[in-house]
Chain A
């Protein structure tokens, strides 16, 4: 499968009568984009705003952040927009240096994400340092909450495809080629390394419905699946319905996949990807972990795997069970952990007791806190009175000058696919 991603460096963002890219400036016809989004009968109103680094703006109820992408031929965001078509081949247009910040302004969730365009977030989040297009959708009264979240998700994808299409026909600043055959080694004699991408955990399922993250459908309840890495890079697997140190950008740019591509034929052969959801019960976990190990050993013929972890404590158990099953099958592992507390020792944070899991990488610390001193003057997707989550159950509001927030709710600070230069250390 061969995928070409043509990237266009966006240096500035402006409103304009026609949506287009000229000399690195993305002009946006807000009215046209608004009409496109309002085609969804669940959306009463959409607030489209262009935001810039240095704006005294706090964006609230951020559900997702999406990189603008569009297929030259084929289906954009298949399964969510239009029919399902396997993603990952052909040519895709991609805008760099600008993002769609997708907000669900009608959410009732108590844990919801935010992004400030100035203040301390400038030091922590890439999204606070780029001009962005905010799409904040409001629900038609009476719309079921989960159905509305799906509408919001699609609104974000529509905006992402709409914006990227503005680059159609232009010469890209950069073209990346992702070309591999899982069953053919690039260079004989090198170890075959694969990737187990744990991309969902149903433990947080809001209103007991799983998010649609895989071709417009939920992954929960499915068996582990061998998938071509390009499908993940090209919109087959997208972010959750809530920002939990997870966003679509990190899936569209899965750093482990990109890193394995970089090493393919150099010091390893990239041997494929297995897509899994964490399991909420032991029986399914046991079965799925055995299947993962079998796929890794006997279907993909791997010598080693990297197993990345998604948010939560329960996925940690799946990581260890998968790791042990792989090691027992003769496939060596490097497993991720995400320390979920800021006290104790690193050893303390590990819930498994298996001596074969010798290679452990810390990939993020989602529940660490940051004190953010920032007086916002403008709010999008909420108001100064919007409540912000506190695990001590203390009242804090979006308009407060000082907030104490867990990092998984801050857009772009963490990433569960290995893209950040972070490591959890003892202090």
Chain B
């Protein structure tokens, strides 16, 4: 059934026609209908709509100065949402395109994130890969890839319109094993948003594998499906010279957490870590295992299998070891991405350092 979609647009002082640097400090100005590139956007959207019989109308254009908005992007996004309250039945929101402009890209990104979160509608902007807004907001909204030249307005607006129309017209074609509809970033030319999806393609895994190994063996060019990140290398810390005076702390990714899992750790792809009191945790009834990567029963039967506190206590008693920290840092990690492990590891390291009395760590895994 044909539908008229309501469109909202955000522009800065320059694209809104208020002037360049001299107008960069201006506050919000809300206009009915399209302004500046909004006319082109509306035309391009309607061109897309011909296929489905739908029409698009830019119902309002919000404008603000770059200096003004980017000084407080979050607070100003909240204000913008209040100002746009009369239009909250809009179907889609566009901002920019902002190309490589530092302040403008941040403003567009912040606004797209806020409106997407508040109203749950698709939010689209356009930026250059090197711009600060791309880095901060690419996971939060749809950002069409642009160059750094504002002369690319026509082709960028056309791409934004095409993506917008696609987002409002999910079809029944099964493209992903998750059965979601996500427009292909390669086809629609937007920055990927930090998501991975298993996608139906033309050839089987086996066909692609044989093709790739034959090419590799024959010295022909081939394209790997993954280009791995290279891990940092680091110097191994110096050994503890006198264990009888050293205090040890346990850190583990094996999933041992307080009974009841108060931090809501997940058995897979967990992102959080917690600092637990070791003796409370190890007491009968004090723990459970949250980890889908191994058969948990042995650790559930005896947590010393993961954190060998029984052996540590014997060593302390025998004077071989100085002590064990009360703090146990737990980060259940099964299929957690390495970037998150690095971040959490750094936080755990800082925490241990801040305790001031930990000389070494025993890191147990499964």
**Interface set of A (CB-CB < 8 Å, partner B):** 111, 120, 123-124, 191, 193, 203-208, 255-256, 258-260, 263, 267-268, 303-306, 308, 312-314, 332-334, 336-337, 339-353, 357-365, 367-371, 391-393, 406-407, 413-415, 417-427
| The one of B192, B194, B205 that contacts A422, using a Cβ cutoff of 8 Å | B205
A347 near B227 with CB under 8 A, answer: yes
A363 near B185 with CB under 8 A, answer: no
The interface bits of chain B over 191-223 (1 if a CB of A lies within 8 angstroms of the residue's CB, else 0) are 011111111111111111110111011100010
A419 near B197 with CB under 8 A, answer: no
B198 near A364 with CB under 8 A, answer: yes
- Is B267 an interface residue, CB under 8 A from the partner? yes
Given A419-B204, A424-B197, A341 and B217 touching (CB < 8 A)?
no
- Which residues of chain A are near B350, meaning CB under 8 Å? none
- Which residues of chain B are near A362, meaning CB under 8 Å? 198, 205, 225-226
- Which residues of chain A are near B195, meaning CB under 8 Å? 342-343, 426-427
- Which residues of chain A are near B198, meaning CB under 8 Å? 362, 364-365, 368, 407, 414, 422-424
> Which residue of chain A has its CB nearest to the CB of B366?
A203
- Which residues of chain A are near B209, meaning CB under 8 Å? 256, 259, 306, 308, 334, 336, 361, 418
| The one of B178, B184, B192, B335 that contacts A369, using a Cβ cutoff of 8 Å | B178
Range, interface on chain B: 35 or more
- Which residues of chain B are near A391, meaning CB under 8 Å? 266-269, 292
- Which residues of chain A are near B200, meaning CB under 8 Å? 421-422
Chain A binder among B243-251, B294-302, B316-324: B294-302
> Which residue of chain B has its CB nearest to the CB of A340?
B335
Top-7 shortest CB links A-B: A418-B206, A340-B335, A418-B205, A365-B198, A350-B228, A255-B206, A334-B213
Expressed in whole angstroms, the Cα–Cα distance for A124 and B290 within the complex equals 30
A426 near B192 with CB under 8 A, answer: yes
- Which residues of chain B are near A337, meaning CB under 8 Å? 226
7 other contacts beyond A346-B226, A353-B228, A361-B209, with CB at 8 A cut-off?
A207-B295, A268-B217, A306-B210, A341-B268, A347-B227, A421-B204, A427-B197
A124 near B177 with CB under 8 A, answer: yes
6 interchain pairs, CB-CB under 8 A: A124-B177, A193-B210, A204-B295, A368-B197, A391-B268, A414-B177
> Which residue of chain A has its CB nearest to the CB of B202?
A421
Tell me, rounded to whole Å, the shortest Cβ–Cβ distance linking B302 to chain A: 14
> Which residue of chain A has its CB nearest to the CB of B227?
A347
Tell me, rounded to whole Å, the shortest Cβ–Cβ distance linking A269 to chain B: 11
Expressed in whole angstroms, the Cα–Cα distance for A29 and B204 within the complex equals 37
> Which residue of chain B has its CB nearest to the CB of A193?
B213
- Is B230 an interface residue, CB under 8 A from the partner? yes
Given A191-B217, A191-B218, A193-B210, A349 and B196 touching (CB < 8 A)?
yes
- Which residues of chain A are near B224, meaning CB under 8 Å? 358-360
> Which residue of chain B has its CB nearest to the CB of A427?
B195
Expressed in whole angstroms, the Cα–Cα distance for A164 and B213 within the complex equals 36
> Which residue of chain A has its CB nearest to the CB of B218?
A191
- Which residues of chain B are near A358, meaning CB under 8 Å? 216, 224
- Is B231 an interface residue, CB under 8 A from the partner? yes
Tell me, rounded to whole Å, the shortest Cβ–Cβ distance linking A415 to chain B: 8
| The one of A120, A304, A350, A427 that contacts B179, using a Cβ cutoff of 8 Å | A120
Given A120-B179, A204-B294, A393-B261, A334 and B212 touching (CB < 8 A)?
yes
> Which residue of chain B has its CB nearest to the CB of A346?
B226
Given A344-B196, A346-B227, A426-B195, A368 and B177 touching (CB < 8 A)?
yes
- Which residues of chain B are near A123, meaning CB under 8 Å? 174, 179
> Which residue of chain A has its CB nearest to the CB of B298?
A208
Chain A binder among B5-13, B69-77, B336-344: B336-344
Expressed in whole angstroms, the Cα–Cα distance for A314 and B198 within the complex equals 21
Expressed in whole angstroms, the Cα–Cα distance for A204 and B291 within the complex equals 11
| The one of A259, A312, A344, A413 that contacts B177, using a Cβ cutoff of 8 Å | A413
B206 near A205 with CB under 8 A, answer: no
A208 near B208 with CB under 8 A, answer: no
Tell me, rounded to whole Å, the shortest Cβ–Cβ distance linking B89 to chain A: 26
- Which residues of chain A are near B334, meaning CB under 8 Å? 313
Expressed in whole angstroms, the Cα–Cα distance for A362 and B108 within the complex equals 35
A332 near B196 with CB under 8 A, answer: no
Expressed in whole angstroms, the Cα–Cα distance for A206 and B182 within the complex equals 37
B185 near A426 with CB under 8 A, answer: yes
Expressed in whole angstroms, the Cα–Cα distance for A346 and B225 within the complex equals 9
| The one of B193, B216, B269 that contacts A359, using a Cβ cutoff of 8 Å | B216
A370 near B178 with CB under 8 A, answer: yes
Tell me, rounded to whole Å, the shortest Cβ–Cβ distance linking A233 to chain B: 13
- Which residues of chain A are near B212, meaning CB under 8 Å? 334, 359, 361
Expressed in whole angstroms, the Cα–Cα distance for A254 and B290 within the complex equals 34
| The one of B192, B204, B227, B269 that contacts A418, using a Cβ cutoff of 8 Å | B204
- Which residues of chain A are near B214, meaning CB under 8 Å? 191, 193, 263, 267-268, 304
Tell me, rounded to whole Å, the shortest Cβ–Cβ distance linking B334 to chain A: 7
A342 near B228 with CB under 8 A, answer: no
A347 near B229 with CB under 8 A, answer: yes
| The one of B177, B182, B194, B292 that contacts A370, using a Cβ cutoff of 8 Å | B177
| The one of B206, B336, B340 that contacts A258, using a Cβ cutoff of 8 Å | B206
Given A191-B218, A313-B334, A352 and B178 touching (CB < 8 A)?
no
Tell me, rounded to whole Å, the shortest Cβ–Cβ distance linking B118 to chain A: 23
> Which residue of chain B has its CB nearest to the CB of A406?
B268
- Which residues of chain B are near A339, meaning CB under 8 Å? 196
Given A420-B204, A422-B177, A426-B192, A342 and B197 touching (CB < 8 A)?
yes
- Which residues of chain B are near A346, meaning CB under 8 Å? 196, 225-227
Tell me, rounded to whole Å, the shortest Cβ–Cβ distance linking A179 to chain B: 19
- Is B120 an interface residue, CB under 8 A from the partner? no
B268 near A419 with CB under 8 A, answer: no
- Is B293 an interface residue, CB under 8 A from the partner? yes
Expressed in whole angstroms, the Cα–Cα distance for A427 and B188 within the complex equals 11
Tell me, rounded to whole Å, the shortest Cβ–Cβ distance linking B36 to chain A: 31
| The one of A203, A303, A413, A415 that contacts B295, using a Cβ cutoff of 8 Å | A203
> Which residue of chain B has its CB nearest to the CB of A120?
B179
Expressed in whole angstroms, the Cα–Cα distance for A425 and B261 within the complex equals 33
Tell me, rounded to whole Å, the shortest Cβ–Cβ distance linking A175 to chain B: 21
B178 near A368 with CB under 8 A, answer: yes
- Which residues of chain A are near B226, meaning CB under 8 Å? 337, 346-347, 349-350, 360, 362
- Which residues of chain A are near B174, meaning CB under 8 Å? 123-124
Expressed in whole angstroms, the Cα–Cα distance for A96 and B196 within the complex equals 33
Expressed in whole angstroms, the Cα–Cα distance for A423 and B197 within the complex equals 8
A352 near B204 with CB under 8 A, answer: no
Expressed in whole angstroms, the Cα–Cα distance for A306 and B293 within the complex equals 25
Given A203-B294, A263-B210, A343 and B205 touching (CB < 8 A)?
no
